[in-house]
Each structure stands twice: as structure tokens, then as C-alpha cells.
């Protein structure tokens, strides 16, 4: 059984991207699934001086350990001004400094998504793909989920897919991750 780690690149308590990865986690029945909230792995804003004086943040080491134990990742990254949020980039930058090897996602398959309540997400996917590949990941699939609230609906406090086509597209990629 594959180990799959899911997180979003949002630090919002009402994140649609976090809601999306929680909904996707419910589709991964034949895998060991770990869903985390990156807000629980907060790190200072990266600077070389902070690294030299304070060292690598404990949360970066913890997150790297979780990634080392996983076979594949599902990551949903919000779009901020046509790109990824600084919060997400900061986490990736610290992760790449944990052992100073940079290629921390080598041999990891990543299913990359971007959700928006509006019409965006494409710029975030493009930029996140560049960074994740730079860290060694192979991209198993990419999906933009715009108009989030038209495609998913809340049921008992969690979001579920109401758009059958979207559910089918996502399931095809998650099934590949579990093989």
C-alpha cells in the first residue's frame, strides 16, 4: 500500500485548497493517507542570516521527515497574483535547505492542483510545477479547480464533489498514485 501525503499551500483557516485536499483524501481508500495543515509547520521567513544564526527550523525537519516517508503527494496551491503564495514558497525554500541537497522530492510523484472560488489557478500551477520539478518531483497530473463552490458542496462539515466530470478526472490521477 502506498503512503500518500496531502497538503495545501494556503495559510487561510477557510482555505478552499485545504478543503479540496481533504475531499481528495476521501477518495484514497487503498493507501496510507496523511493530511496535514501547513499552518502547523510554520517557519520564519527565509534568510541566510536566520539559517546561520538559528539553524534549520524544527518544523522544516519534521516536514522533510514526513516527505521522506511518503511515496506520493497531493498538493493544492492557491493563486496569488498569478503565482504561488509566499507562504508556500517559503516552506519549499526551507525544505530544500534541510540537508542542503535541494532535490528533496526525488522519486516522489506529485498530483498538483489549484483551487479558486473565482476563475484563476493556472498561473499558480505553472509556477508550482517549475519549483516542484526543480526539487526533483515528477508531476503525475495537474488540475485547476476554479469556481470551487460550483464544483464541490459542503456535506456534514466537509466538501464533496458534485461535478461528476471533475470527480472522474481527479479519480483517474489518484488511482495512478495508488498503483
Ligand X SMILES: Cc1cc2nc3c(=O)[nH]c(=O)nc-3n(C[C@H](O)[C@H](O)[C@H](O)COP(=O)(O)O)c2cc1C
All three cell numbers of 24, joined, read: 481528495
In angstroms, give the least distance from the CB of 60 to ligand X: 21
Dist. CA 153–CA 34, nearest whole Å: 23
Element (H, E) at 63: helix 58-68
In angstroms, give the least distance from the CB of 38 to ligand X: 11
Residue ranges in contact with ligand X by CB under 6 A? 8, 10, 12, 15-17, 78-82, 116-118, 120-121
Closest CB to ligand X among residues 84, 104? 84
- Measured CA to CA in angstroms, residue 148 lies from 1, 8, 129, 138 at distances of 31, 15, 21, 26
Closest CB to ligand X among residues 40, 175? 40
In angstroms, give the least distance from the CB of 110 to ligand X: 17
Closest CB to ligand X among residues 67, 144? 144
Nearest partner of 136 among 170, 96, 178, judged by Cα: 96
Closest CB to ligand X among residues 5, 145? 145
**Letter string b/e over residues 124-147, b meaning 16 or more CB atoms within 10 A of that residue's CB:** bbbbbbebbeebbbeebbbbbbbe
In angstroms, give the least distance from the CB of 157 to ligand X: 17
Find the residue with minimal CB distance to ligand X: 120
Amino acid at each position: 500500500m502506498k503512503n500518500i501525503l496531502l497538503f495545501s499551500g494556503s495559510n487561510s483557516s477557510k482555505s478552499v485548497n485545504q478543503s479540496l485536499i481533504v475531499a481528495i483524501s476521501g477518495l484514497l481508500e487503498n493507501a496510507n493517507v496523511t493530511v496535514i495543515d501547513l499552518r502547523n509547520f510554520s517557519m520564519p521567513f527565509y534568510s541566510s542570516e536566520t539559517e546561520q544564526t538559528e539553524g534549520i527550523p524544527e518544523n522544516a525537519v519534521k516536514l522533510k521527515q514526513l516527505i521522506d516517508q511518503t511515496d506520493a503527494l497531493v498538493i493544492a496551491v492557491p493563486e496569488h497574483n498569478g503565482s504561488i503564495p509566499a507562504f508556500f514558497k517559503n516552506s519549499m525554500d526551507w525544505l530544500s535547505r534541510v540537508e542542503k541537497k535541494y532535490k528533496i522530492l526525488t522519486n516522489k510523484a506529485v498530483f498538483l492542483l489549484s483551487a479558486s472560488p473565482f476563475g484563476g489557478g493556472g498561473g499558480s500551477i505553472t509556477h508550482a510545477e517549475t519549483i516542484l520539478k526543480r526539487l526533483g518531483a515528477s508531476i503525475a497530473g495537474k488540475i485547476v479547480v476554479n469556481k470551487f463552490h460550483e464544483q464541490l458542496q459542503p456535506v456534514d462539515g466537509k466538501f464533496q464533489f458534485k461535478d461528476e466530470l471533475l470527480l472522474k478526472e481527479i479519480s483517474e490521477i489518484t488511482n495512478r498514485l495508488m498503483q
